[in-house]
A and B are shown apart, each in its own frame.
Chain A
Amino acid sequence: MHTQKDHRFYLGRRNFILAMFMYPFLISKLMADNKIGVGSPLFLDEEDGFVILGGWVLLKDDLIQNPD
């Protein structure tokens, strides 16, 4: 169904705050599972512009790719 790739994504601070506001449970859940954190590299599943993280199907725009 989807491919697992070693993409490194970083959650930008602005989107993190927005996400906390809109999806408090989602973000807190991800943080509790140590799957997300500001500035942390993430290993993600990716398909068609979506990011699958801990079973959550997110838009890439939910996260910001590290310019590095």
Chain B
Amino acid sequence: MIIDLNSVEKNSAHKHYDVCLCGAGPAGITAARVLSKQGKKVAIFEGGGLEYSELSQDLYQGESVGLQYWDAVHSDRLRYFGGTSNHWSGRCAFFDKVDFEQRNYFGLPGWPITREDVFQFFDAACSVLDISREAFHASQVTKWNGENFRFSESTRSPPTRFGEKYYSELKDSSNIDVYINANLTEINLNKDLDAVTSFEIRNYGNQKFLFSAKNYVIALGSIENARLLLNCDKQVPSGIGNQSGMVGRCFMEHFNVGIGRFVSDDSPIWQQGRIQLNPSENMIRKLQIGNAILDFERSSHPISYGRLKKLKQTMREEVCKSEFLTGLSRNILDFDCPGDGLITSLIEQTPNLNSRVSLGTEKDMFGMRRVKLDWQANAADYKTIRTLGLEVAKEMARSGAARVQLKDFILDDTKDISEIGRHAHQMGTTRMSEDPRFGVVNKNLQIHGFKNIFVAGSSVFPTGGGANPTLTVVMLSERLGHHLAKS
């Protein structure tokens, strides 16, 4: 059933559920569907409506004080039914074995669970995301000729828009009630401060409703999960789950850094015009760096010089001798130089205590403090960026597939890496660790020190890996759903 809380009379919505779950994005909907199939009664609370609205989206407004995040604090996330899947690109990729290992050079504990613990839910996640196991293997049509890198295995979801795909199923479900325009504004605790007694939910008329359950889940995304827990300071002044000061810490993104440019040969690997490489797991361990995807995209294929095109191509060659004119032609005239291309990247950042979500001073319409994001990179991150840039350039030269011109900040570590972008992959802030000093949730995604509240989504990632996070988020949510169903 889908219930618009804006249309519900005050105090008429008291119900008791097996699980109260906040957030109707990929993590929340996936966990709720698992629970429903196991016969559990679930309430999903979605702060937005069925469609985008400025009123709801405004609650994501905040400030960014670290690395440039522009307006992404507000715009990368979508606050309505289906969540950020409503503008997801659909790329699905694996986290590698090395991503789950304890990499001591990162300075904080890694994943307390194994890759196998997560991947037992791979087939279920494929079904949720409309992808197939076989499609991953099909993405590797040839083998990369080199030791230090490998072709990136990935596939694309249509992409699955969770709100659209699962609307009818949720609406018709006898086990799931979806409340829209339902904003979680307080988490009420028992006297011992070790269990949740109710979720306080408000509609846009600021009317208050209380919902209770055996177990509670927040699945609001990395920024909002932390913001909510920090704002719930009525009974616990430092915020719920923040006894070690870890809520909001270790906010991670994937760095999007332009490594340089390349000129390619005419070998078959360039037939698609683009190749994506991961560093080998051995090289990651040996050089003590993060994981990544290095993305080589050719602007154009090498040209066959025909007689009729000679004049045009001669002009093109002349233009391509000048870096300035090349840039101009690429960006303005859509006129590429033969065989050249740009190298972009998706690079794992280290879990960094100083990279964090905290609360600003301004408040939203519900009186909750808005988010302050301080995204930071550190020396280990710069080492990963520079090392991967140089190593992939050498690998390309060895293979003969291309020659790479690196940006000056790759080769000269006295130059700042100022051109760090993001991938809208927000991770960390309620990281998973068996030791409460280094995390917010345990390996079952249960908040340390609390009996019945759990966190879903990429905020629990202890490290960010070198792959897009959605597939892993869905597998973890499947796992959480099964764990809660058993309990």
Interface residues of chain A, those whose CB is within 8 Å of chain B, are 1-2, 22-26, 28-29, 31-32, 45, 48, 50, 52, 54-59, 62
Q: Given A1-B386, A57-B406, do A25 and B320 touch, yes or no (CB 8 Å)?
A: yes
With A and B bound together, what is the CA distance between A13 and B338 in angstroms? 23
Task: Decide if B265 is an interface residue (CB 8 Å cutoff).
Answer: yes
Residue numbers in A under 8 Å from B403 (CB-CB): 23, 26, 56-58, 62
Listed stretches B99-107, B194-202, B393-401, B467-475; interface member: B393-401
A25–B406 touching, CB < 8 Å: no
Contact call A55/B397, Cβ cutoff below 8 A: no
Of B317, B321, B339, B411, the contact of A2 (CB 8 Å cutoff):
B411
Q: Is B408 an interface residue (CB 8 A)?
A: yes
A to B CB contacts below 8 Å, 20 in the list: A1-B413, A2-B390, A26-B263, A26-B405, A28-B317, A28-B320, A28-B321, A29-B321, A29-B405, A32-B321, A48-B394, A52-B406, A56-B404, A56-B405, A56-B406, A57-B403, A57-B404, A57-B406, A59-B397, A62-B397
Docked pose: A31 CA to B318 CA in angstroms: 12
Is there an interface contact between B322 and A32, defined as CB atoms closer than 8 Å? yes
For residue A61, give the distance in angstroms from its CB to the closest CB of chain B: 9
The residue in A28, A29, A52, A59 that gathers the most chain B C-beta atoms within 10 A of its C-beta is: A29
- In the complex, what's the smallest C-beta–C-beta distance from B294 to chain A, in angstroms? 13
Interface residues of B in 400-421 (CB under 8 A from A): 403-408, 410-411, 413
Tell me the interface secondary structure of chain A in the complex: mixed
Cα A55 to Cα B407 with chains together (Å): 7
Residues of chain B within 8 A (CB-CB) of A24 are 317, 320, 338-339
Residue of A nearest to B393 (CB): A57
6 new A-B contacts at CB < 8 Å, known A26-B405, A48-B394 = A22-B265, A23-B403, A25-B340, A55-B408, A57-B404, A59-B397
Q: Does B334 reach chain A (CB closer than 8 Å)?
A: no
Q: Which residue of A lies closest to B260 (CB)?
A: A55
* Cα A2 to Cα B323 with chains together (Å): 25
Q: Is B337 an interface residue when CB atoms closer than 8 A count as contact?
A: yes
Complex alpha-carbon distance, A31 and B317, angstroms: 13
Q: How far is the CA of A32 from the CA of B322 in the complex (A)?
A: 7
Q: How far is the CA of A56 from the CA of B321 in the complex (A)?
A: 15
Q: Indicate whether A1 sits within 8 Å of B397 (C-beta atoms), given known contacts A55-B407, A57-B403.
A: no
Residue of A nearest to B383 (CB): A1
Query: Which A residues touch B407, using CB under 8 A?
Result: 55
Q: What is the interface of chain B, defined by CB distance below 8 A to chain A?
A: 260, 263, 265, 317, 320-323, 337-340, 386-387, 390, 393-394, 396-398, 403-408, 410-411, 413
CB distance from A60 to the nearest CB of B (A): 10
Q: Is the Cβ of B339 less than 8 Å from the Cβ of A25?
A: yes
CA distance A1 to B389 in the complex (A): 11
B338 A59 Cβ-Cβ under 8 A: no
A20 CB, min distance to chain B CBs, angstroms: 11
Q: Which 3 A-B pairs have the closest CB atoms?
A: A57-B393, A55-B405, A28-B321
Query: Of A29, A52, A58, A59, which is within 8 A of B411 by CB?
Result: A52
| Nearest CB in chain B: distance from A55 CB, A | 5
For A23, list chain B residues within 8 Å (CB).
263, 339, 403
Contact residues in A for B322 (Cβ distance below 8 Å): 32
Contact check, A57 vs B263: say whether CB atoms are below 8 A apart. no
Q: Which residues of B contact A55 (CB under 8 A)?
A: 260, 405-408, 411
Q: Which residues of A have CB within 8 Å of B323? A: 29
Which of A2, A28, A57 lies in contact with B397, CB distance below 8 A? Answer: A57
Contact, CB under 8 Å: A57 / B394? yes
Question: Shortest Cβ distance from B408 into chain A, in angstroms?
Answer: 6
Separation of A22 and B405 alpha carbons in the complex (Å)? 16
Task: Find B405's partner among A1, A50, A54 (CB 8 Å cutoff).
Answer: A54
Q: Separation in Å of the B262 CB from the closest CB of chain A?
A: 9
A26 to chain B: which residues have CB within 8 Å? 263, 403, 405
Q: Which residue of B lies closest to A23 (CB)?
A: B263
Given the complex of chains A and B, what is the CA–CA distance between A52 and B412 in angstroms?
A: 12
Report B314 CB to chain A, min CB distance, Å.
12
User: How far, in Å, is B337 (CB) from chain A's closest CB?
Assistant: 5
Chain A: CB-nearest residue to B302: A24
